[in-house]
Amino acid sequence: MKVILLSEKTRIGKIYSTFFEQEYLVDLTFVVIWLIASIVAIYIPFLDAIPLRIILALPMVLFIPGYCLIAALFPKNDDIDLIERMTLSIALSIVIVPLIGFGLNFTPWGIRFDPIVISVTLFTLVMLLISFYRRSLVPSVERFCFPFFEIGNTIRNEIVPAGGGTVEKILSTVIILSFLIATITTIYVITVPKERAQFTEFFILNENRTAANYPDMIIVGQNYPLFVSVGNHEFRNINYTIETWMIRSEFDNVTNSSTIMAMDANDRLVLSLPHNATAIIPYNMSVKKTGYNRVEFLLFDETVPSLNVTGSDRINASYRDLHLWVTLR
């Protein structure tokens, strides 16, 4: 057997001809355009208020990843029919995106919006390159070509084949009606305004910006770096007030409740946040004297009670409250 090794120039020429000198693949090009439009719509702020972002992003979650995977697996026209290709695209997309999120859960990035967008986009692009390459290896007469102009007749022939009986026609009618109902429902959900949830995030991070390993053994007079974070999702600008109080509380085993025995003001910070903005504020926690066992963080929105309101009444009057149990030395 004679083995022929291609030179580097020949390999580069082969790759170039595969990706730049092949027949125009309309469906894969359309996916690339849709992918770019979706990313642009996702990251342009003013599109958040119109349904265009949802209309472009939904296929990126529910259809396109699976379609690109199917295109990579089945490059020939007669591998599977159009209905199977479309159905598998939806089913696999519903599986692929959660699996990507599950994998991100074990990475430093976690399940966040930006990592999910980047991961789904990278998966789609890789499948697109594989699909393009595999189709280029198939003769043009056998290569899958999405029937954009004949899609109506193709789907009708697949669902209602010529010479079908009464049962087949009834089942086909039910499938078509179900598809129309699902489409109308989706359009209704997208276009009809929904009541938006209004909330504020309030949390404490340690010096490494993680929600763990907070300082609990406190030396009087020493500083302990923390981060206090506020996220405004109230759909309006809000002036927040953050207060820290040193508290000594005692637990009553009979009533199964804590009683505040002493409460002294420590710090106060006022900040203004627009909607959808998050502030992460460095804070040095320091205790000036002993006798406390709790550091209380209170967040107020526009309404801040007077300093005469103390104890449980002040904590209950706050918009959000957090606390750290400490031991003073």
Global pTM value = 0.50
Tell me, what's the pLDDT at 1?
A: 44
Query: pLDDT by residue (tens digit) across 149-177?
Result: 665 565 556 555 555 566 666 766 676 67
d(CA 312, CA 305): 13
What is the structure's pLDDT at 24?
Answer: 59
Residue 225's pLDDT is: 92
- Integer Cα distance of 244 and 264 in angstroms: 9
Beta bridge partners of 271: 240
CA distances from 115 to 37, 105, 197, 258 (A): 18, 10, 24, 42
Stated as kind and residue range, the H or E segment containing 299 is strand 294-300
The tokens for 75 are 């490059």
pLDDT at 280 exceeding the cut of 60 = yes
Find the mean pLDDT for residues 256-263. Answer: 84
* Count of alpha carbons within 13 angstroms of residue 259, beta-carbon side: 8
Identify the band that residue 321 occupies on the pLDDT scale cut at 50, 70 and 90: very high
pLDDT at 159: 56
Beta carbons of 82 and 147 less than 8 angstroms apart: yes
- The residue that leads in pLDDT, 17 or 145, is 145
CATH superfamily entry for domain 199-328 = Immunoglobulins (2.60.40.10)
**Res 223 pLDDT > 80:** yes
pLDDT of residue 239: 93
Q: What percent of the chain lies above the pLDDT cut of 90?
A: 24
- Which class for 245: exposed (0-12), middle (13-18), buried (19 or more C-beta within 10 A)? buried
Structure tokens belonging to residue 214:
């907070």
Higher pLDDT: 212 or 182? It is 212
Q: How does pLDDT run across 46-81, given as a tens digit for each residue? A: 765 567 777 888 888 888 999 999 999 998 888 887
- Mean pLDDT, the chain, whole residue set: 81
Residue 234, φ and ψ in degrees, nearest 5: -100, 0
Span 80-115, pLDDT tens digits:
877 778 888 888 888 898 899 888 888 888 778 888
Q: What's the pLDDT score for residue 156?
A: 58
Q: Kindly report, as residue ranges, where domains of CATH 2.60.40.10 are found in the chain.
A: 199-328
Q: What's the pLDDT at 3?
A: 44
Of the candidate ranges 36-40, 84-88, 271-275, the one whose mean pLDDT is the lowest: 84-88
Asked if 158 and 82 touch (Cβ cutoff 8 Å), the reply is yes
CA distance 327 to 329: 7
Rounded Cα gap, residues 319 and 151, in angstroms: 56
Q: What is the pLDDT of residue 298?
A: 94
